[in-house]
Structure 1
Amino acid sequence: MNLVSLIPAKYRLIATGLLLAAVAGAGAALVWWGLAPRIDLHAERAGHAEQSLAEARQLIKLQAGVLATQQSQIGAVTEIERQMRALGQDITRNAQDHSRAIEELKRNDQVVADYLHGVVPAALGRLYERPETTDPRTYRGPALLPAGSVPAAGPASGAGQ
């Protein structure tokens, strides 16, 4: 005797269906039991991936801000370098102008020194001729202070006291 023979014929189809359903349920439970850790693992990985993506986006925003700041600083440094070059050119130009002026002053000083080492032209001497400078007797002027002693003090006046 077998197990199927114990079940009446009219219920055998239902029993077979129930048996198949039970086997399918057991198989599904077995599959679920085997796949559940993997599903959880993939869900955890997806959570980590979303968190990493959010962190990466935040880092990208931070780096974009840093790059924008660096670009503005590079622009400022470039402008400063341009101004420094312009100032350097101005300084060079001024130094050249000063060098030319100093050379001209040296030439003029030499001309003046040569002139002063020479004899004063007679016409120029007569133009500034005065007795004080040409007559030796008038070199000394009269004494500005009297030769006598200091006068005696007078009576004190009441004014101012």
Structure 2
Amino acid sequence: MSTSKIKSTVEEMVQPYLEEHGFELVDVEYVKEGSNWFLRVFVDKDGGIDIDDCGLISEYLSQKLDENDPVPTAYFLEVSSPGAERPLKKKEDVAKAVGKHVFVTVYEALGGSKEFEGKLISFENEELEIQTARKTYAIPYDKVASARLAIIF
């Protein structure tokens, strides 16, 4: 089974449980690091999640994975918070981040740059408006390779 198929299968397995218990699925990763495979599930909820939340989700998902066995190799399951630099994977995530500091990369250079860090001023009409230290950029959503919240130092 392909990596993307494993990710989508895990998303389908865990989504109903998360919705029922007030959690939000932020991302699923299935990656090889060294000789080990890791299945990482990032979840959040209003007010943040704690270790007990992660434990409950991990127990539920472990049982579902054992029943359905979609992963062909041995792996480590990790359930955690997306962290302070939360990825913005969906349009809804980007919309919630308006007014916050973000880091965005694009597939092809816009205005001579492929990386933008600054305040997300707006997200309207499929376009992110980011105020950086130098100027404001309008970035079409379909040109965004990745986006995440950024910590300001």
- TM-score (normalised: structure 1): 0.13
**Which structure ranks higher in relative contact order (CA pairs < 8 Å, sequence separation ≥ 6)?**
2
Rg larger in structure: 1
Considering fraction of residues, name the structure with more strand: 2
TM norm structure 2:
0.14
